[in-house]
Amino acid sequence: MRKRILAANWKMNLTQTQVDSWLAAFQSNNWSSESAEVRVYPSAVYLKDFQDFRIHQGAQNVYYKERGAYTGELSIEQLQSVGCASVLLGHSERREFFQESNELIAQKVEACVQAAFPFILCCGEPLDVRQAQNHKAFVLDQLRKNLEHLTPSQLDLLVIAYEPIWAIGSGLSASVKEISEMHLAIRTFLSEQFAEAGQNVPILYGGSVNAANAGAIFACANVDGALVGGASLDPDTFYQLWLALCA
């Protein structure tokens, strides 16, 4: 049975005072589940704030080199030293705003695999690709290039997050039909590339997930949870998503 995951990507949001309030609210809710896991991916400056909490904390980015003269970057070893349990790779904002190529993301994937460091690999298409009906080929090409060095025995490190770029932060979520079709395409790709092991990789959806649409999204075949942006900044809203995932 695949793990169900609700992951919060805070991006470049929240101040220290707001983080303190978020964590206080987090503690007041029941996050225990035998079949689901909650994760938070805060700005790197807040990672140590999570060390005393029983919660999976992850980083939003990592560099593929072990150490050296790479000003502003963070290594896997550094992240692990502050209790970081996983990392996001290939988010569309990293691809678009920071020009991260499929080749660079593949290097980061390889570094995570070599360090046995779990990661969520993000994929998704822009609006023009969706409108041209080339979205499946676009996303599967990302996955093919980003995961080219993985073997079936290494898939326990991998979670995939499908995030249509046109739905991120726009208030426009993909329809249930669109989500189901893409998640099926990704699942089929994983099975073709990695045989039976590909069935065990969780696939999350991301893109304007909220309390109103979460139940329908989580009911879709091959949707194993969500990577949530804006809705995760409010702890009460985020908890409503958790209840929907565990329902």
Which of the residues are catalytic? 91, 163
CA dihedral sign of residues 137, 205, 174, 59: negative
**Distances from the Cα of 18 to the Cα of 21, 29, 49, 105, 236, angstroms:** 5, 17, 12, 31, 14
Asked whether the beta carbons of 74 and 80 are under 8 A apart, the reply is no
Instruction: Tell the burial category of 17 from Cβ atoms under 10 Å away from its Cβ (0-12, 13-18, 19+).
Output: exposed
Residue 99 identity (one-letter amino acid): Q
Question: Three-class SS of residue 93?
Answer: helix
Asked whether the beta carbons of 14 and 22 are under 8 A apart, the reply is yes
For residue 246, the 8-state DSSP code is H
- Report the alpha-carbon distance of residue 73 to residue 233 in Å, rounded: 25
